[in-house]
Structure 1
Amino acid sequence: MKENRKEIATGLISIVFAIFLWSYVMGATNPTIRREYRNLPVELINEETLQNNDMVIVEPKEPTVNVTLSGPRNEINKVQPRDIIVQVDLARFSSQTQSMPITVQAPRDTVVYQQSQNSIVFKFEKIIDKEIPVTVETINALPSNHIMLMGTEVKPNRVSITGPSSIVNQIHHAKTQVNLQEIQDDTTLNVPITLVNADGKQVVGVELSQKEVSVSLSINSVKEVPIKLNTVGEPAEEIQLEGPTLNQSTISITGDGEILNGITEIETNPIDLSTIQETANINVGLRLPQDVFLSDPNKQIIANVQVVSDKSKTFNIQPEDIELRNVPEGSQAAVLHDAPVAVTVKGSTTSVDAVTEIQCYIDLQGQSPGTLTLPVGVERVEGVTLEKIEPSEVSVRVQ
C-alpha cells in the first residue's frame, strides 16, 4: 500500500515537473510580445441610419486608430492589419456632434493591450440639394484675326448639387473652361465642370447631377472695310460748314464669310446738313446688312461738323501775271494798267487758308485792235467765293 502511494506521489511530481518544464521551454521559445498597428481604418457600420435621416459625416472623413496587441510571438507574427476589426456603430447616432465608442476585435489567441483612443467625435450635417448656374470661361485667343467668337451656349445651363449644407452653401456656380486656341469654326464640345465659390475658388465634397456639359461656340468671319459718309440736304445760306469728318475711316465687321466677301464698304446713316446750326459731334449709325455685325458692338462712329465764320483774303495780282486769252490772230496785246489788281475771296478759315494763288485773265475774244477797257476774270477756286475785284476793269491795247 505504501509502495502504491509512493508511486502515485512520484507520478504526480513528474507530471508537475513536466508541465513546469514545458511551460519554461515554451516561454523561452515563444514568449508573449506586444506589437502596435498604426492607422487602422475604422469601419462604419449601420450607415443607413444617417441616410434615413438625410445626414452625412462631415468629419472625420476617414477615421483611423492605433491598436497594440499582446500575445504569443508566433501568433502576433501572423497578424496582418486587415485581421484587426475596428468598428463604430452609427446606429447610435442621435445629434449633429457626437462621441461614439470604438470597438476592436483582436485575432484569435491575441488580446487588445492598448488603443490610441476609445471613441471618435463625429460631426454630422444635413444633406441638402441646390441648383446652380453654369458659366463658360474662355482662355487664349482664336488662332486667326479674321475670325471672332460671337457667343457661347451651355446645355444644360444649370446643374444640381447634393451634399453637406456647409459645403453646398459655399458654392456659387459651376464653371467650364474652353481653350479657343484650336477653334476655327462653329464647334460643340463636352467639357467638365468645376464648382467654385463667389471668389472663384474651387469647392469639393458634393455630388453633381452631371460632371460634363455641352458648350456650343459660334464663330464668325471678320473683315475691315471703308466707311462711306452719307449726307443729305444743304447747309442754310447763312451757315458755313467744315466737314463732316469721321473719327475713323474703316470699320471691322463680322458675319458669315460668304456675306462679307460681297461687302466693299459700309455707309453711315445720312446726316441732314440743313439741320445743323452749330458745331457738333454727331453719333452716326451704320447701315449694316442683315446678319452682319460690328466686331466691337460698343464702337461709335462720330461725325464732326464745324460751323465756321467766313474769312476774307485779298490777293494782289501784278499786271504782267494777268493772262490774256483769245488774242486775235496776227495781233499783239498788252495790259496798260500799271498797278496790281486786288482780288478778294471769302470762305471758311480752312478753305481760305488753303488758297495759295489766284489766276486772273482778260478775254479778248471778238475784240478789235485799239485801246480797250475790259473786265478782269478770275478762275474759280474750290471752297471759296469771289467777293470783289479792284479794279474790276483794266485797259488793254490790241494792235
Structure 2
Amino acid sequence: MTRIEKKWQVKLICLVVAVFLWFVIIGEQNPTSEGSYTVPVAVENLDSRYIASHVPRSVYVRLAGPRNTIINIDPSSIKAYVDLSAVKEGTVEAPIHVEIPGGTELKKQSQNRATVLIDVYAVKEFSVTPHIRGQVNGNAYVGNISVLPQKVTVSGARRLVRQVDNAMVEVGISDKPDGFTAMTPVRLLRADGTVVEGLTVTPWQTSVAVNLEPNAATKEVPVVVHTRGTFHKGLTEKNVIANPKTVTLRGDAAQLQSLDHWDLPAVSVTGITKNKTWKLEMPFVNGVTVTPDTIDVMLLTTKE
C-alpha cells in the first residue's frame, strides 16, 4: 500500500509539473501584449429636440491581452460613447464610456469626461442675397442677377441660428466680358459682417446667373446710415458714422438719375456701450452695383 501511495504521489507531482510547463509554453508562444487604438466618440440617447456640440471626435485607448487576441482586434469592435439621456439645454459633464472586446483589459484612456454643450435644434429659412465682387470691364454693367434657389434652409444650434442676419453668395464679375452662370457657396453672416459657422445650409450652394448690359452710367452719392433699437444713454445718431461717406453707383443711366443717396442696411445699437464696427457688404439691388462693395459703419462711444 505504501508503494502504491508513493506512485500516486509521483503521478500527481508529474501532472502538476506538466500543467505548469504547458502554461509556460503557451505563455511563451502567446505572451501578453498591448495595442493602441483611436476610437471615434458617438453620442447616444440624445433627445431629437437637442443638438450636442463640443463632443470629442475621438479618444485614444490602450488595451492589453494575449498577443493573438490583440493582433486580431478589429478597431471597429471598440466602442466609445457619451450617454446624453435626460439632458437639458446648457452645459453638461458626461463620462466617456469605452466598451472593449472580451479577453482584453483597458490600460489607458486619453479622456474620461467631456464638457458637452446642449442646444435646442432649430431650423430657419433665409432669402439668398447676391454680393458682387470686382468690376465689369469696359462700359458694361450688371443688368440682372438670378439666384436659384432663392432661399436656403439653415439648421443647427438655436443660439447660432439666431446670430444669422443674412445668407449671401459672392459673385465675382472681374474680367467677365459676357453674362455667365456659376455655382456659388452660401455664406451665413452676422449683422457686423462676420461669418457664422457650425450650421448646416441646405442647399449649401446656389446657381447664380449674371446678365451684363452695355452703356453703363456711373454716379457718386452719399451713403445714409440707418440704425434700429435704442441708443445707450449719452449716445446719439451722431455717434454713428460710415467709412467711406460716399459710394459710386454703376448701372442704367435712367435708373441712376433718380438716386441721390444710398441707404445702408440698418444696424442694431441696442445695449452697445463701447466702440463697435460693422462691415456691411453691399447687396446687388435693382441692377445697380456699388463701389466699394463693403462699407464700415462705426459706433463711437466718445461722448460729445
Report the equivalent of 1:43: 42
Q: Give 1:173 shift.
A: 0.7
Gaps of 5+ in 2: 219-251, 261-304
Choose between structure 1 and 2 for higher RCO, CA contacts under 8 A separated by at least 6 residues: 2
Q: Secondary structure at the match of 1:42?
A: strand
Larger radius of gyration, structure 1 or 2? 1
C-alpha displacement at 1:155, in angstroms?
5.0
**Contact 1:101/1:119, CA 8 A, preserved across alignment:** yes
1:13-162 to structure 2, matched below 5 A, reads 13-37=13-37, 39-46=38-45, 49-51=46-48, 54-60=49-55, 62-94=56-88, 96-145=90-139, 147-155=140-148, 157-162=150-155
Percent identity (aligned): 28
> Distance between the aligned counterparts of 1:216 and 1:36, measured in 2?
53
Match of 1:233 in 2: none
TM-score normalised by L of structure 1: 0.49
Question: 182, 186, 195: which one pairs with 2:188?
Answer: 195
**Deviation string for 1:188-207 (max 9, x for gaps)?**
65543222222333323222
Partner of residue 297 from structure 1, selected from 252, 257, 260: 257
Structure 2 counterpart of 1:297, which letter?
Answer: Q
- CA separation of 1:204/1:11 partners in 2, compared to 1, >3 Å: closer, same or farther? same
Q: Give, in whole Å, the separation in 1 of the partners of 2:135 and 2:89.
A: 53
Q: When the two structures are superposed, what TM-score results if normalisation uses the length of structure 2? A: 0.63
Root mean square deviation of aligned Cα: 3.1
| Pair 66,179 (structure 1): closer, same or farther in 2 beyond 3 Å | closer
Quote the residue 2:164 is aligned against: 171
Larger mean CA deviation between 77-86 and 121-130 belongs to: 77-86
- Residue type of the alignment partner of 1:25: I
Contact 1:143 1:184 in 2 (8 A): no
Question: Structure 1 counterpart of 2:198, which letter?
Answer: G
CA offset digits 1:337-377 (Å, max 9, x no partner): xxxxxxxxxxxxxxxxxxxxxxxxxxxxxxxxxxxxxxxxx
Q: Does 1:3 align with 2:30?
A: no
Paired residues of 1:45 and 1:88 also in contact (CA < 8 A): yes
State the secondary structure of the residue aligned to 1:100.
Answer: strand
Contact 2:89 2:119 in 1 (8 A): no
Contact kept, 8 Å, 1:96 with 1:124, in 2: the verdict is: yes
Find the aligned partners of 1:113 and 1:213 in 2 and give their Cα distance.
50
In structure 2, what residue type is equivalent to 1:17? V
